[in-house]
């Protein structure tokens, strides 16, 4: 770094401190006014409620196949059941998280229950159709009654673990809409930026008057 560049840096730094010293009151007042206004906005945000349930997706009826596959893939689940709730598949599992945020506790619970009940009903209906097709296939094979009874018993046991089911719905209260920390960061940033901009404008006007 040359002596000339050092000198320019010192001048720039010195000018900044002079600007700040002259406009510190303006900057402080603008910051305080905007920050207080933003704080008032943040703390008056309404309380919201978030309800969450986890749904375990059932497997297709795959006889004689070791690899299982879900009744509906994650992309299809998100597309079909996201009308009133948020659907979030949990990676590398059969579980999807169903959540909803609303202004009332009961409203958020009902939104989750609606999506969950729709999902469970549709997927269990898919599995039951697969079972009926498999039973028809057994009839066509003309297996003995004892073998058929044994296979149907195994099928019934498998259906208990293969059908879709849901956990209980849990609800969390979100004071200030659950965004107090985020809102305060935004308010602080905007207040600081606007205070510096207004201070710079006032300093520019002062210099123009001195030069005139």
The pLDDT tens digits of the residues spanning 154-194 come to 555 555 456 788 889 999 888 887 778 888 899 999 999 99
Average pLDDT for residues 32-49, to the nearest whole number?
89
The pLDDT tens digits of the residues spanning 67-109 come to 567 778 888 888 888 888 999 998 888 889 999 999 889 999 9
Whether 2 has a pLDDT exceeding 50, the answer reads no
Whole-number Å distance between alpha carbons of 187 and 25: 19
Residue with tokens 């849990």: 170
DSSP H helical ranges for 51-172: 74-81, 105-141, 145-162
> Can you read off the two tokens belonging to residue 66?
């070791």
The CA distances from residue 23 to 18, 188, 192, 212, in Å, are: 9, 19, 13, 20
Domain residue extents for the chain: 25-45+180-199, 48-177
């Amino acid at each position: 770094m040359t002596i000339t560049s050092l000198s320019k840096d010192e001048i720039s730094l010195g000018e900044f401190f002079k600007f700040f010293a002259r406009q510190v009151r303006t900057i402080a007042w603008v910051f305080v006014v905007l920050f207080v206004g933003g704080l008032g906005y943040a703390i008056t945000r309404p309380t919201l409620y978030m309800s969450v349930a986890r749904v375990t997706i059932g497997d297709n009826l795959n006889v004689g196949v070791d690899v299982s596959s879900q009744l509906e893939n994650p992309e299809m689940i998100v597309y079909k059941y996201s009308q009133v709730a948020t659907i979030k598949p949990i990676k590398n599992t059969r579980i999807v998280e169903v959540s909803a945020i609303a202004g009332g506790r009961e409203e958020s619970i009902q939104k989750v229950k609606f999506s969950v009940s729709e999902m469970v009903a549709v997927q269990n209906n898919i599995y039951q159709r697969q079972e009926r097709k498999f039973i028809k296939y057994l009839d066509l094979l003309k297996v003995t009654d004892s073998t058929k009874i044994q296979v149907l018993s195994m099928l019934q046991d498998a259906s208990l673990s293969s059908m879709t089911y849901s956990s209980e719905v849990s609800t969390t209260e979100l004071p200030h809409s659950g965004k107090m920390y985020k809102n305060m960061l935004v308010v602080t940033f905007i207040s600081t930026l606007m205070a510096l901009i207004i201070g710079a404008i006032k300093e520019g006007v002062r210099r123009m008057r001195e030069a005139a």
